[in-house]
Amino acid sequence: MKCRKCGDRAVLELRRHNAAFCAADFVDFFRNQVREAIRRYRMFERDEHVLVAVSGGKDSLALWDVLLEDGYRTSGLYLDLGIFDYSVESHAKCEAFAAAHGAELIVVRVTEEIGAPIPVIKDVTRRPPCSGCGLSKRYLMNRVALERGFSVVATGHNLDDEAATLFGSVMHWQTEALSRQSPALASTHPKLVRRVKPLYRLSERETAAYAFLRAIDYIVDECPFAKGATSIAHKETLNRMEDASPGAKHNFLLGFLDRARPAFERVDAVPLNECARCGQVTTGTVCAFCKLAERVKRAG
Ligand code: AMP
Ligand code: FES
Ligand code: ZN
């Protein structure tokens, strides 16, 4: 197999692009896909300060690496969820990456913000851990960005993540979720920062290859609560389709974004208020994060 660009020996075949690349040209290809995502969705400008949410996994560290290499002004945000060794190890990976690149890493502990770590929150709510966890992550990313003057948060969601989410929403025709499925969510309120996903065009296999080729040290283990999550089942289904028909995932997601998403665009946007307790945005009176914190306090 030869590299499509230089003709040298290829290290990676990308069947959906009908191409193979050597190490240097794959890294180039990867960065160009990120640039294309940023350009196409006008994710951020050159002079903006971008908050990159990093979990210690391959995707978000690969994203941070690309943005640093391209000269963007960035800081990392690590949310310590208090999930046993998983959090200790993933925190260490983020600290090491930040130190090696001379970049700022902001660390926020969920326990300090809400009164308990994720494993306790899951018992209090008696709901899957990912629900309280996802809620806390979204809330804290936005609040930290606002408090520190960032206008945009970038996450490491990749093509596989986005296609699996889309698949789940389509399976249940969750039209509200479909209207929000996008690589770039605009700010619809002065207290909501933009959220962007510059890796949406790149698969999990590609981000793993990039992290490997760039010698990025990341946490390989998944969160211990991820087992059995429906998103994993959806990813497996999509991967089987991808095996049979390379490009299936890409066509599913990008086809939706280009052709179907406009049909789900909401004109009657829900009115947004400021939470009576914390001042963050909510559709009700008290936001879901403050309600969760209240339940944790009562249970403690
Ligand atoms: P996940 O929801 O775990 O698939 O992660 C999706 C994206 O959310 C990651 O690529 C990160 O950008 C961000 N993220 C997940 N966990 C954390 C964390 N503990 N701290 C900061 N960002 C996170
Ligand atoms: Fe949130 Fe696993 S990372 S429950
Ligand atoms: Zn609140």
What average pLDDT values come out for the chain (300 residues) when binned by 10 residues? 96 94 98 98 96 98 98 98 97 98 98 94 85 94 98 98 97 93 95 98 98 98 86 94 96 97 83 96 96 91
User: Ligand 2: distance of its center to the CA of 109 in Å?
Assistant: 14
Ordered DSSP codes for 63-97: HHHHHHHTT-EEEEEEEE---HHHHHHHHHHHHHH
With respect to residue 108, please indicate whether it lies within any of the assigned structural domains: yes
User: To 5 degrees, how large is the angle CA 236–CA 239–CA 241?
Assistant: 115
* Domain CATH code at residue 160: 3.40.50.620
219 CB within 6 A, ligand 1: no
Among 60, 81, 150, say which to mutate for ligand 1: greatest number of ligand atoms within 8 Å of CB: 60
Determine the Cα–Cα distance for residues 72 and 159; give it in Å rounded to an integer. 22
155 CB within 6 A, ligand 1: yes
With respect to residue 231, please indicate whether it lies within any of the assigned structural domains: yes
With respect to residue 161, please indicate whether it lies within any of the assigned structural domains: yes
With respect to residue 38, please indicate whether it lies within any of the assigned structural domains: yes
With respect to residue 3, please indicate whether it lies within any of the assigned structural domains: no
pLDDT, position 212: 98
Determine the Cα–Cα distance for residues 145 and 191; give it in Å rounded to an integer. 10
Instruction: Write out pLDDT tens, residues 193-202.
Output: 999 999 999 9
Torsion of CA 119, 178, 281, 39, to 10 degrees: 100
pLDDT, position 230: 84
pTM of the model as a whole: 0.97
Structural domain containing residue 153 = 23-269
With respect to residue 18, please indicate whether it lies within any of the assigned structural domains: no
For the chain, list the strands marked E by DSSP: 12-14, 19-21, 49-53, 73-80, 104-109, 152-154, 184-185, 194-196, 273-274, 281-282
Among 110, 223, 227, say which to mutate for ligand 2: greatest number of ligand atoms within 8 Å of CB: 223
pLDDT, position 164: 97
Contact between residue 5 and residue 25 where contact means Cβ atoms under 8 Å apart: yes
157 CB within 6 A, ligand 1: yes
pLDDT, position 127: 82
Residues with CB under 6 A from ligand 2: 81, 118, 129-130, 133, 223, 225-226
With respect to residue 63, please indicate whether it lies within any of the assigned structural domains: yes
Domain count, the chain: 1
User: Ligand 3: distance of its center to the CA of 164 in Å?
Assistant: 30
Amino acid, single-letter form, for residue 275: C
With respect to residue 129, please indicate whether it lies within any of the assigned structural domains: yes
